[in-house]
Amino acid sequence: MVQDFKRGVDGAKHTGGVNMSLGKAFCVVCASEDELTKDRLCVPCFKERTTLSKLPDTIQGFRCPKCMMYMHDGRWGHHESDEYHQGLVEEKLEVENRADALGIAIMTEEIDERNTRLSVQVTGLIDGVQFEDIHSSITRISNSVCPTCTRKAGNYFEATVQLRSSGRKLTEDELTSLRGTFDTYLESIDPDPMFFISKEGKVAGGFDVVLGSKALARGWTKHLLRRFGGTSKETNSVVGRKDGEDLTRLTISYRKPAFNLRDVIRRQGRYWLIFAWQKDGAVISSIDRQERTGLTWRDLEKTSVESEAKDHLEVEILKRDSSAADFMDPNDWKVRTVSLPYDDDGSQATLHIALIADEWVALPGMNGGEVNE
Ligand SMILES: [Zn+2]
Ligand SMILES: [Zn+2]
């Protein structure tokens, strides 16, 4: 600028007093020659004509009174109250799209159970000009029954899983452990609004669980098969038509085998442990030597359990030699001797023992051998 001025003076000696602002940029609104933005507005005029953000005075939220889920972005889910307010603000806040370096701070003050006063500070830069807004809004949370609860209330269901035992009645313990896997299974998978129990209860011969989703029924059954072995059978029944397609309900009959992993069975005069489940039966592992074989469900049904896994004991070895060990019989506190299992490596401090045909037998597998789960 200084140079231009000098040259001007040098080049036109007699024309002193020319308009110095000629050609210089100025605000198109107020003609101010202060620093201008891209739009050729001075900062005050730019600020007057530009809005960083907008937020409604009241923001409507919805909460299901039955399950306390909140509706956010068109979806139902569980949220902490603060997190929910933040989500609503982010959903409703309109921000000028040229803005960057955006900062949002929210202060909440509960008015009553349904209404919360929010003070929302929004800061950002537009074309390099710093903006700050303070919005004060009220969120109002109204009741709205979510689709899951609506369906539950209407006893909606798609599938029934029947828990049964093959050949005998399910015991109370078995029932508890079978049913218990439902909750852990549900926690392990992605949530879905249709994943709920519509009804459940004891029936003759077992326990029925009525579910909101066929996919859930199938998924849980697979989980049961992996965990407890057994068989499952699917039946579909047509209950009506909707949009030109058959509306069906699924029934899955799950049969838990009358055996558990590590139960001892007798087969061809020898004793075996149930080692693992497979699709068509079990893998059994011999107690007296390293040997494994497969049994079909049909084969299994012909065998009997000699010692159930839940009755096995873990005892401390009091004294051992190369082939036998002493332990204290917890039934009468007498010291007894038992042959060491074939896979004993001499380092174990305890033994797993089972009472088979009135004799204590030390079991292989858990004493340094393979542990199956
Ligand atoms: Zn201006
Ligand atoms: Zn609900």
Whether residues 215 and 270 fall in one domain: no
Can you give the residue range of the structural domain that contains 81?
Answer: 56-143
Same-domain status, 70 and 44: no
Write down the pLDDT at residue 23: 65
What's the 163 CA to ligand 2 centre distance in angstroms?
27
Report yes or no on 86 lying in a domain: yes
Give 118-157 pLDDT, tens digit per residue.
999 999 999 889 999 999 999 999 999 998 888 888 888 9
Tokens standing for 254? 């799950």
Report which bound ligand comes closest to the CA of 62. Answer: 2
Average pLDDT over residues 347-362: 91
Tokens at residue 215, please?
């996919």
Question: Are 358 and 271 contained in the same domain?
Answer: yes
pLDDT of residue 153: 84
- Residue ending a domain, choose from 114, 143, 172: 143
The reply to whether 69 falls in a domain is yes
Ligand 2 centroid vs 322 CA: distance in angstroms? Answer: 65
Closest ligand to C-alpha of residue 146 is: 2
Number of structural domains the chain divides into: 4
CA dihedral 183, 189, 195, 201 (to 10 degrees): -20
**111-124 average pLDDT score:** 94
Q: Do the Cβ atoms of 337 and 317 come closer than 8 Å?
A: no
Whether 134 is covered by a domain: the verdict is: yes
Q: What percent of the chain has pLDDT over 70?
A: 91
Residue 231, token pair as written in the block? 């068989």
* Residue 12 pLDDT exceeds 50: no
Condensed to tens digits (0 to 9), the pLDDT of residues 216-236 reads 999 999 999 988 888 899 999
* Domain endpoint, select from 143, 164, 196: 143
Question: Which sign does the torsion angle of CA 230, 236, 242, 245 carry?
Answer: positive
